[in-house]
Amino acid sequence: MFDSFKKKISAAISSISDKIAGKKEEEREEKKAEPVQKPEKKTSTKAHIQKAQKLQKSPKQKSVAREKPVQTEPEPPARELKPEEEIKEPEPVAPEPPKAEEKRGFFSRITGAITETKISNEVLDGALWDLELALLENNVASEVASGICSDIKLKLGGKSVKRSAVEKIIKDSVLESVKRELDQKPVDVEAKVLAAKKEKRPCVIMFVGFNGSGKTTNIAKLGFWLKNKGYSCVFAAADSFRVAAIEQLEEHGRRLGIPVIKHQYGADPAAVIFDAIAHAKAKGIDVVLADTAGRVHTDKNLIEELKKIVRVNKPDLKLLVVEAIAGNDVIEQAKIFGEVGLDGVILSKWDIDDKGGAALSVTHTLQKPIVFLGTGQNYEDFRKFDLEKVVSSIF
């Protein structure tokens, strides 16, 4: 799961390591290029002796000897050096063989070429662009991707960092940013149901979303989940613009033993939900699960109709159903449907998402929690959102 995310993030972190390592290599090359002044080689004693012998045999020296010598104090006789007594240069010390490079893990690759020295902002700016691009390619909102990179730059840029600390800084920065976006105030569906029961009324949960996002299927899954918890339910077929939608919800109701309240094709969806609530009150049913038509999020008229449904029926929860594989389109969906006043999100098709960025994008845009995850085609393929499990699966 999330193979694309893992591969691209791993490659980006390797790129950061390579670029910082490249900077260090340039510094080493500059040091190597500096001219080294070698010590002046001393002339051997043998050469001195040969030169002295030639001077003694020269005719000029003999003529000087016939002249009357000038009386001077005699110099002490110099010790004659043997030819083999030459000045030897010190032998060069062989460098120690380089230690074998240890295998590095996912985040530790960035530490390979960093010693305890200042890491320049210029190097980080270029290197972190690879990480930001990898996040964007995996459907992470640009604001979230920029925030993750900014956190890393703030902790590393212009600072002296020990090699052993860099891995922890990078890992903590990414994980903290991801958790910060996903860790919204949770919605407890059971608590909402119990609160409504105390008031002797049904809990009304309304589902909204884009065409084909899986609203009807997830209504059935939540009905199955609530029945297993011991609560009674009724379906409201308020997608009255599509005959197939009413028939689909009826089929789910038949399989699960949950009644369905419906009107004729083209009926007012607010009236359908109103009647379902009245039926639930009369029969002592705990929860009304209301379907709505799949809105195109750019259609303002249909969004206004959703606002009307909310005003008339005052649902306890309004849940947006989005596909985890919808890419960056989830951001636009979240912005438009957010006008309705959403309480949370259901991410469908979570099990086939290869990128993982939609979860970050939708929570960042809405500032609302993910409540449930759709993980398959069966009724039981539906689970509550768990922050720690989701973060573990993404990384």
End of a domain among 182, 214, 235? 182
- 270 and 370 in a single domain? The answer is yes
Residues 323 and 340 in one domain: yes
Q: Tell which of 127, 157, 182 closes a domain.
A: 182
The answer as to whether 131 is a domain residue is: yes
Q: What is the pLDDT of residues 45-72, one digit of tens each?
A: 455 545 555 555 444 444 444 444 545 5
Q: Is residue 323 part of a domain?
A: yes
Domain end (from 182, 200, 229): 182
Same domain, 174 and 194: no
Do 173 and 195 belong together in one domain? no
Same domain, 258 and 379: yes
pTM of this structure: 0.71
Question: Average pLDDT, stretch 234-257?
Answer: 90
Q: What is the mean pLDDT of the chain?
A: 78
Which pLDDT belongs to residue 330?
Answer: 86
Range of the domain at 124: 3-17+107-182
- Domain membership of residue 151 (yes or no) is yes
26, 123 Cβ separation under 8 angstroms: no
Claim to verify: residue 247 and residue 318 sit in the same structural domain:
yes
Q: Both 195 and 292 in a single domain? A: yes
| Domain membership flag for residue 78 | no
Residues 350 and 251 in one domain: yes
Q: Is 22 among the domain residues?
A: no
What CATH number does the domain containing 9 carry? 1.20.120.140
What are the tens digits of pLDDT across the range 89-121? Answer: 555 655 555 554 444 444 554 444 445 556 777
On whether both 178 and 233 belong to a single domain, the answer is no
Q: How confident is the model at residue 11 (pLDDT cuts 50, 70, 90)?
A: confident
Domain match, 176 and 232 both: no
Using CA atoms, how far residue 197 sits from 232, 260, 274, 326, 379, in Å, is 11, 21, 18, 36, 25
355 plus 298 within the same structural domain: yes
Number of structural domains in the chain: 2
Looking at 13-17, 135-139, 284-288, 384-388, which range is the least confident one?
13-17
Residue 387 counted as domain residue:
yes
Cα separations in angstroms, 292 against 33, 97, 201: 73, 72, 21
Domain assignment of residue 216, yes or no = yes
pLDDT, tens digit (0-9, with 9 covering 90-100), for 304-329: 889 999 999 999 999 999 998 887 78
Under 8 Å between Cβ of 4 and 354: yes
Clarify whether residues 248 and 372 are in a common domain: yes
Asked whether residue 47 is assigned to any structural domain, the reply reads no
CB 349 within 8 A of CB 309: no
What pLDDT does residue 242 have? 78
Q: What is the CATH classification number for the domain harbouring 216?
A: 3.40.50.300
